Amino acid sequence: MWKDFKAFAMKGNVLDLAVAVVIGAAFGAIVSSLVDSIIMPLVGILTGGIDFSQSLILTVGDAKVKFGEFIQAIINFVIIAFSIFMFIRVLSKLQGKKAEEEPEPEIDTKEELLKEIRDLLKKEQV
């Protein structure tokens, strides 16, 4: 059982996932700091000094319904999702350029002939 677990844990996908989770958490902290320290104060300035996380609180007895914190969480999510989208978009463009730069492997003449035969057989079947 230990060997099976070790083989599973050492697979590339599991390690990649672990790295992605750690980097995602760090990235989330950076974006949350961006939202809390820069974007939301600017939104507060534009809305006349309203701080969503401290305002829009409905108090009933001892219970507090914090609509402002919910709005803050939605804004955080949208900004984090957009940031990740842009990061992946840039990364995929960079990978696309690398793929274009790589020369195509030379095809052996035997493989070329086999491909032609395959294509001719396909045409005959149709």
Q: Is the pLDDT at 40 greater than 80, yes or no?
A: no
Summarize pLDDT for 2-13 with one digit per residue, the tens.
Answer: 788 777 666 667
- Tokens representing 60 are 């009933």
Report the alpha-carbon distance of residue 64 to residue 56 in Å, rounded: 10
Instruction: Report the SS3 class of residue 65.
Output: strand
> Under a CB-based contact definition with an 8 Å cutoff, are residues 49 and 40 in contact?
no
Strand partners, 66: 57
pTM: 0.47
Map out the domains of the chain as residue ranges: 2-125
H or E element that contains 57: strand 57-60
Q: Provide CATH code, domain 2-125.
A: 1.10.1200.120
